[in-house]
């Protein structure tokens, strides 16, 4: 199979990036809700914030369990991975604050918006630096890893759905 065909196949990076796009859209929806005066906006914001937090928690976990360790073994420059893990820790702290919040107030909105800004920064680094390095690493089978990430993500989403039901 020619290399050009392989490169266009969905790989681990494209799966992770699909998550990025989905969550970015959710953050935009949240920002629109912050402008609403409707009484129902508060519950919609709470529900959307919970959904964002679930998506990000699962995304971070599959990166930390599968993608980052494989990439750490395959590339020399691991500073980028160290930074990504610190960014995950900051995001997890904000996620916990959002999930534990009893009121959907201005502070709640601020936390969700700042989380969105953290994630934007994180995504830019992954897209601009980490994904190109992963795709250039000959030791990584990103097509196979995509399947691993996908299966683990499905398991975690099912677990989290069961925990909130």
Give me the pLDDT at residue 76, please. Answer: 84
Percent with pLDDT over 90 in the chain: 81
**pLDDT tens, residue by residue, 45-75:** 999 999 999 999 999 999 999 999 999 999 9
Confidence grade of residue 164 (pLDDT, cut at 50, 70, 90): low
Domains of the chain: 11-164 (1.20.120.520)
Give me the pLDDT at residue 9, please: 84
Residue 43 has pLDDT above 50, yes or no: yes
Question: For the residues 154-159, what does the mean pLDDT come to?
Answer: 95
- Please state the three-class secondary structure of the chain as a single string: CCHHHHHHCCCHHHHHHHHHHHHHHHHHHHHHHHCCCCCCHHHHHHHHHHHHHHHHHHHHHHHHHHHHHHHHHHCCCCHHHHHHHHHHHHHHHHHHHHHHCCCCCHHHHHHHHHHHHHHHHHHHHHHHHHHHHHHHCCCCCHHHHHHHHHHHHHHHHHHHHHHHC
Q: What are the structure tokens assigned to 53, written together?
A: 């937090």
Question: In which band, very low, low, confident or very high, does the pLDDT at 3 lie, cut at 50, 70 and 90?
Answer: very low
Q: What is the mean pLDDT of residues 85-105?
A: 94
| pLDDT tens-digit map of 125-138 | 999 999 999 999 99
The pLDDT value given to residue 97: 97
């Amino acid at each position: 199979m020619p290399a050009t065909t392989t490169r266009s196949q969905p790989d681990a990076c494209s799966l992770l990036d699909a998550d990025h796009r989905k969550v970015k859209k959710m953050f935009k929806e949240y920002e629109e809700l912050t402008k609403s005066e409707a009484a129902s906006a508060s519950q919609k914001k709470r529900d959307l914030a919970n959904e964002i937090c679930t998506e990000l928690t699962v995304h971070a976990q599959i990166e930390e369990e599968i993608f980052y360790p494989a990439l750490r073994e395959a590339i020399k420059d691991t500073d980028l991975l160290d930074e990504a893990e610190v960014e995950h820790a900051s995001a997890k702290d904000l996620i916990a604050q959002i999930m534990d919040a009893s009121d959907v107030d201005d502070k709640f909105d601020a936390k969700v918006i700042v989380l969105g800004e953290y994630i934007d920064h994180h995504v830019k680094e992954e897209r601009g630096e980490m994904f190109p390095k992963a795709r250039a690493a000959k030791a990584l089978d990103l097509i196979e890893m995509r399947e691993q990430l996908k299966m683990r993500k499905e398991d975690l989403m099912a677990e989290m759905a069961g925990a909130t039901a």
